A = this chain, B = another copy of it.
Amino acid sequence: MNISILAVGTELLMGKTVNTNATYLSEQINALGHNVLYHLTVGDNPVRLKDTLNYLLEHSDMVVTTGGLGPTQDDLTKEVICETLDLKMEKHDLAYNMLIERFKQFNVEMTSNNIKQAYLPIACIPMMNQKGTAPGFIAEKDGKYIAVLPGPPYEMKHMYENSLRPFLEELSDSVIMSEYIHLFGIGESSAESVIDDLITDQSDPTIAMYASVGQVSIRVTSKANDFDTCYERIQNTTAEIVSRLEPYVIGFGETSLLDETIKLLHDNYMTVALAESCTGGMLASELIQFPGASQYFDLGLVTYSNESKMNLLKVEPDILETYGAVSAETCEAMLHGLRHLSFSDVLVSVTGIAGPTGGTPDKPVGLVYIGIMLGDSIQVKKFNFTGDRLTIRKRSMLNAINMIREALKP
């Protein structure tokens, strides 16, 4: 089915709000095997809304609208749709009772403006709003569908998942499946060049790459008439990709570098302690972002100044003077200092030049040393990262996490 998405709201045209609704709905709708033909955004203007609605209905089998369902005079999506499609409205008991329920729950008095929200087209399928007051609906006219969703993303997503998705699933005749392969330690373009032929030749499965700082994920998606075909195609392509990129693969599906690393700490009943310089607490903050962090996180030190490295970590002034704060020697001395302050199984130290100032020809911005101590074994790695200050700090943080993962993986 060919579907268009129509967003209603002047705030979108003012550039105050990003239309993430269109992106969310498009990903969802494509995953069900339907096609998205157009995104269109129009302001709270009845003439233009009517005009665009007609345009999209003419060019698609279904139009999904978001926004303009509130109780105020600005909110006119429902009224304009009904006028355009010549649909009569009536008070729907289900919608009315939901409204009363919702206002009780929010402890707010219901006004006559709110009662207009209970009016929906006579022959429609109402969609209940579990997170707000405005109900939505699905209506049909001359073989075309229109689905009306609220604008706030949180309300919209709940309504889509509970009401519109099951409806769209019924209307789709294909099965869609995806697998994700997560990589670390290779850039997007390098990874792409390794599987370039698979991407170029793709018809099904399709291969898509996603990259954020330091991390690359590959999505393999297949669309077929039956589950078994879908599954087999995905297995084959995934196996081929993994065979080419094996050293960089950190996991599949719903996982991440951090998830994998914390899982290893948990599984090994190990705790970690940190001495951070250029990452400045970012590594600690990342590691404790999940509840239960106290089981694997002991202590973090942000020894940003030379004084704190000497006073707290007992790094010898000699070492700092001879080799500098950003050196393999200081990085290792930080680990030894940390050893006296923590009994943790895994110790990690980071020191580097995040920039944009402070670089020299010998020690440029982006030079970072990361050290790890596990039992008696010490490893210090040297990195030359590119990017701005935040990117260099993030890359340092992620590579420190990866060094924990590599040290612990079976």
Contact = CB atoms under 8 A, between A and B. Distances in A.
26 contacts: A14-B26, A15-B24, A15-B27, A15-B29, A15-B36, A16-B27, A18-B20, A37-B43, A37-B48, A280-B284, A280-B289, A280-B293, A280-B297, A281-B283, A281-B302, A288-B304, A289-B389, A291-B355, A291-B357, A292-B357, A298-B307, A299-B303, A300-B300, A300-B302, A301-B302, A311-B341
A123 to B, nearest CB: 30
Question: Secondary structure of the A side of the interface?
Answer: mixed
Interface in A367-389: 389
Nearest to A283: B281
The 6 closest A-B pairs by CB, nearest first: A15-B27, A300-B302, A281-B284, A281-B281, A15-B26, A39-B41
A215 interface: no
Interface string A1-44: 00000010000111111111011111111100001111111110
Given A281-B285, A285-B282, A299-B303, A41 B14 contact: no
A297 B290 CA distance: 27
A276 interface: yes
A23 B27 contact: no
Given A289-B389, A291-B358, A302-B284, A12 B37 contact: no
A1 B390 CA distance: 40
A285 B279 contact: yes
Interface of A: 7, 12-20, 22-30, 35-43, 48, 51-52, 55, 59, 208, 210, 274, 276, 279-285, 287-294, 297-305, 307-308, 311-312, 341-342, 354-358, 389-390, 393
B42 A30 contact: no
A40 B43 contact: no
Nearest to A42: B38
B13 A26 contact: yes
A364 to B, nearest CB: 15
